[in-house]
Homo-oligomer: A and B are copies of this chain.
Amino acid sequence: MPTYKAPVDDALFLLNDVFHFERYGNLPGFADASPDIVEAVLREAGKFSEEVVAPLNRIGDTEGCTRKADGSVATPTGFKDAYRQMVEGGWIGISVPAEFGGQGLPATMTSIVNEFLCSANVSFAMYPGLTQGAIAALLAHASPELQAKYLPKMTEGTWTGTMNLTEPHCGTDLGLLRTKAVKQADGSYKITGTKIFISAGEHDLAENIIHLVLARIEGAPAGTHGISLFIVPKIMVGDDGALGARNGVSCGSLEEKMGIHGNATCVMNYDGATGWLIGEENRGLNAMFVMMNEARLGVGIQGLALSEVAYQNAAIYAKERLQGRAISGVKYPDKPADPIVVHPDVRRALMTIRAINEGGRALVIWASLQGDVARRSGNDKERQSADDHMGLLTPVIKGVLTDLGFANTVMAQQVYGGHGYIAEQGMEQFVRDARIPMIYEGANGIQALDLVGRKICKDGGRALMAFLGEVGAYVKDKSANEKMKPYVTPLGVAAGHLQQASMWFMQNAMAKPDNAGAGAYDYMHMFGLVALGYMWARIAEAALPKADRDATMKNKLITGRFFMERMLPETAAHLARIQAGADSMMAMADDAF
C-alpha cells in the first residue's frame, strides 16, 4: 500500500527563498497570506491529503464508481465522508473572492494544495478541481445574477462543477459540435445533445451539479464561431436559492477506463435541459477557455503530483529492498545484500524523477504567481507581462509535466521490478492514473500546436522574446559567479537551442506550415526543459548560501547539477528533429498507413 507525505517544506522553500513571496504583498489578497498563514494552510492541507484523502486512493481504484438504474452514481466507499470534510475545511474556495464566500488567498496556494490532493488521490481531487475551473469561468464571464446564484454554493463545495465540451464525434475540433440550444421566451435556453467523457458528471458528493455546456444556438453559424456556453444545473435553483425540480440532464452511462476509476466519467444526455447563457452568444469558446486554462494548469499539476507520490514510494522501496551489492564495493556488510538505492541505474531513475518533480513544482508555483499577478495587479504592464508568461507556460506545463509525470510513474514502477506490476503495490495505479492527464484538456499534441501555432507568434512574438530575454539576462547576470556556472552555462546553451528553434520556425514555417506542425512536439518539450532549467538555476541560487550547513540545500545543488548534466542536453536532439522539417514525416500517402 503506497504512502504519501506532502512536500510542504519544499513548497515553502520555493515560495519564500526562490520566489520571494513577500514581494507580492501589494497584490490584493496577498496581505492575508502572511508567512505564518501560508505555512499553516499548507501544513493543514498536507495533513488532510495524507490522512483523509490518500487512504481512499486504492479503494477508489478497485471499487470505482457505480451507476444505478435511476441514473444516479455512487462514488467509492469513503469518498463522501472525505468530501464532506473537504467542504467543512473550506478548501475549495481558498482563492475565491471573499464576496462569494471564499478566502481570497493567492491562487498560488490553491495550486500547491491541489498538488497535495492529487498526489493523495487524483480521482478524488478532480471533483473539487473541476468545480474550481467552473468557478473561474463564471467569475470571468457570467452575469452578476448568475454569479450570485451559483458561486457561493460552488465555493463552499456543496455544489460541484463540470465542463461539457466533447461529443462522440468531436473533441479537439469543437467546430463540429451538434448540441443545440433553443432560446425560450424567458431568456433561458433548452439544451439538447449528448456529451461524453464528462468527469464528475454525476455523483453523490454534492447537493447539486452545475454543468457548463458548449452548445450551438439555433441558427448560429457553423464552426467554432457559432458556439455558446451555458450553465445547466442538475437540479433547478429557485430565485431564493432553494433547490427545485430535476433539470432535463442525466448520466446515460459511465465509461470503463484505464484508470482514475474513482472519478465518474459520464455520458451526459441533455434532453431539453434548461440552461442560461454565460457571456455573449457565439463566444462560448472564449468563455470556456478561461475554464480550460485553469484546468490545463490543474492537469499539469496532476502530472507533477502523480510523479511525486510515485517517487516517494519508489524511494522507500529502493532503501528497503535488498538485492545485489554495489559495484563500487559492499555498502551494507551487515545485511545479506545492499539496498538497491546503491545501484547507479536505480539512482538514475530516482534522480531523474526527483529533478523533474522539484523543478516542476517550482515551475507550477512560478506560473501560478504569474497568474495571480495577471488577475490581481493594478499595473497594466505587470498584468500584461504576467499574462504573456502564463500564455506560454500553460501549454508547456500541461504538455510537459504530464508527459514527464507519466514517464516518471513508469520509471518509479520499474524500481519495484516485478512487484511494480502487481496491483496491491499501488504503483501500477499511479501509471494508469497518470496516463489520462496527457490526454484530457487538450491532448498534448494540441498543447504543442497551441504553443507553436498561437503563443510564440502572438503579438509579434512579445511573450517569447520576454521569456528568452529574462532567461538570457539571468544567465548573463549569474555567469560571473563561479558557483552558479554549472547551472547557468548549460542553461545558456539550452536557451540558445530554443532560440534557434524559434528562428527556424520563423524562417521555415511561413511557406510550409507543416514544418511548424512537425516540430511542435519537440519544441514544447525543449521549452519545458529550458523552463525547468531556469527553475533549477533559481533553486540553486537560493540553495547556495545555505548548502554548507543544510543537507536539504546541498541535495538541491546535486539534483540541479544532475538535471543540467543529464537532462538538459536533450535540447540538442529536439533541435535536430525540429530542423529535420516535415518532409519525411509527410511524404507517405495517407492510405499507406
- Smallest CB–CB gap between A179 and chain B, Å? 16
A422 CA to B324 CA, complexed, in Å: 40
* A323 interface hit (Cβ, 8 Å): yes
Q: Contact between B172 and A344 (Cβ–Cβ < 8 Å)?
A: no
Q: Contact between B590 and A339 (Cβ–Cβ < 8 Å)?
A: yes
Q: Contact between B344 and A586 (Cβ–Cβ < 8 Å)?
A: yes
* A257 interface hit (Cβ, 8 Å): yes
* A517 interface hit (Cβ, 8 Å): yes
Q: Contact between B257 and A423 (Cβ–Cβ < 8 Å)?
A: yes
A256 CA to B428 CA, complexed, in Å: 11
Q: Which residue of B lies closest to A558 (CB)?
A: B587
Q: Contact between B588 and A517 (Cβ–Cβ < 8 Å)?
A: no
Q: Contact between B171 and A418 (Cβ–Cβ < 8 Å)?
A: yes
A322 CA to B323 CA, complexed, in Å: 51
Q: At the interface with chain B, which of A16-24, A79-87, A210-218, A564-572?
A: A564-572
Q: Which residue of B lies closest to A585 (CB)?
A: B347
From known contacts A319-B591, A327-B513, infer whether A344 and B414 are also in contact, taking CB-CB under 8 Å: no
A435 CA to B438 CA, complexed, in Å: 17
Q: Contact between A255 and B422 (Cβ–Cβ < 8 Å)?
A: yes
* A379 interface hit (Cβ, 8 Å): no
* A439 interface hit (Cβ, 8 Å): yes
Q: Contact between A513 and B345 (Cβ–Cβ < 8 Å)?
A: no
Q: Contact between B521 and A585 (Cβ–Cβ < 8 Å)?
A: no
Over the window 432-448 of chain A, the binary record of Cβ atoms lying under 8 Å from chain B Cβ atoms (1 yes, 0 no) is 10011011100111001
CB contacts (< 8 Å) of A349 on chain B: these are: 445
A585 CA to B346 CA, complexed, in Å: 10
Q: Which residue of B lies closest to A518 (CB)?
A: B344
- Smallest CB–CB gap between A333 and chain B, Å? 14
- Smallest CB–CB gap between A436 and chain B, Å? 5
- The answer, among B324, B520, B570, for a CB contact under 8 Å with A345, is B520
* A182 interface hit (Cβ, 8 Å): no
CB contacts (< 8 Å) of A229 on chain B: these are: none
Q: Contact between A327 and B517 (Cβ–Cβ < 8 Å)?
A: yes
Q: Contact between A323 and B593 (Cβ–Cβ < 8 Å)?
A: no
Over the window 178-213 of chain A, the binary record of Cβ atoms lying under 8 Å from chain B Cβ atoms (1 yes, 0 no) is 000000000000000000110000000000000000
Q: Interface centre among A345, A428, A572, by most B CB within 10 Å?
A: A345
* A356 interface hit (Cβ, 8 Å): no
From known contacts A414-B443, A586-B344, infer whether A324 and B593 are also in contact, taking CB-CB under 8 Å: no
CB contacts (< 8 Å) of A410 on chain B: these are: 406, 435
Restricting to A331-362, which residues have a CB under 8 Å from any CB of B? Answer: 331, 336-337, 339, 341-351, 354
Q: Interface centre among A342, A518, A588, by most B CB within 10 Å?
A: A588
Restricting to A566-581, which residues have a CB under 8 Å from any CB of B? Answer: 566, 569-570, 572-573, 576-577, 580
Restricting to A116-140, which residues have a CB under 8 Å from any CB of B? Answer: none
* A516 interface hit (Cβ, 8 Å): yes
Restricting to A306-333, which residues have a CB under 8 Å from any CB of B? Answer: 315, 318-319, 322-324, 327-328, 331
Q: Contact between B423 and A439 (Cβ–Cβ < 8 Å)?
A: no
CB contacts (< 8 Å) of A516 on chain B: these are: 327
Q: Contact between A418 and B197 (Cβ–Cβ < 8 Å)?
A: yes
Q: Contact between A323 and B171 (Cβ–Cβ < 8 Å)?
A: yes
* A562 interface hit (Cβ, 8 Å): yes
* A512 interface hit (Cβ, 8 Å): yes
* A561 interface hit (Cβ, 8 Å): yes
- Smallest CB–CB gap between A384 and chain B, Å? 28
A474 CA to B512 CA, complexed, in Å: 36
- Smallest CB–CB gap between A166 and chain B, Å? 6
- The answer, among B318, B345, B431, for a CB contact under 8 Å with A448, is B345
Q: Contact between B593 and A343 (Cβ–Cβ < 8 Å)?
A: no
CB contacts (< 8 Å) of A322 on chain B: these are: 169, 173, 176
- The answer, among B170, B196, B354, B422, for a CB contact under 8 Å with A257, is B422
From known contacts A171-B323, A327-B516, infer whether A417 and B431 are also in contact, taking CB-CB under 8 Å: no
* A421 interface hit (Cβ, 8 Å): yes
Q: Which residue of B lies closest to A420 (CB)?
A: B439
CB contacts (< 8 Å) of A175 on chain B: these are: 337
Q: Contact between B577 and A569 (Cβ–Cβ < 8 Å)?
A: yes
* A555 interface hit (Cβ, 8 Å): yes
Q: Contact between B584 and A324 (Cβ–Cβ < 8 Å)?
A: no
CB contacts (< 8 Å) of A172 on chain B: these are: 323-324, 417
A226 CA to B439 CA, complexed, in Å: 51
- Smallest CB–CB gap between A516 and chain B, Å? 7
Restricting to A444-458, which residues have a CB under 8 Å from any CB of B? Answer: 444-445, 448-449, 453
* A582 interface hit (Cβ, 8 Å): yes
CB contacts (< 8 Å) of A577 on chain B: these are: 565-566, 569
Q: Which residue of B lies closest to A515 (CB)?
A: B344
* A51 interface hit (Cβ, 8 Å): no
- Smallest CB–CB gap between A470 and chain B, Å? 26
6 contacts between A and B (CB under 8 A): A258-B423, A258-B431, A327-B514, A351-B585, A428-B435, A566-B585
> Other CB < 8 Å A-B pairs besides A166-B418, A173-B322, 17 of them?
A172-B323, A172-B324, A175-B337, A176-B323, A328-B512, A331-B590, A341-B590, A343-B517, A344-B517, A344-B520, A349-B445, A418-B439, A420-B439, A558-B588, A559-B584, A559-B588, A573-B573
Binding site for B on A (CB under 8 A): 166, 169-173, 175-176, 196-197, 255-259, 315, 318-319, 322-324, 327-328, 331, 336-337, 339, 341-351, 354, 406, 410, 413-414, 417-418, 420-424, 428, 431-432, 435-436, 438-440, 443-445, 448-449, 453, 512-514, 516-518, 520-521, 551, 555, 558-559, 561-562, 565-566, 569-570, 572-573, 576-577, 580, 582, 584-593
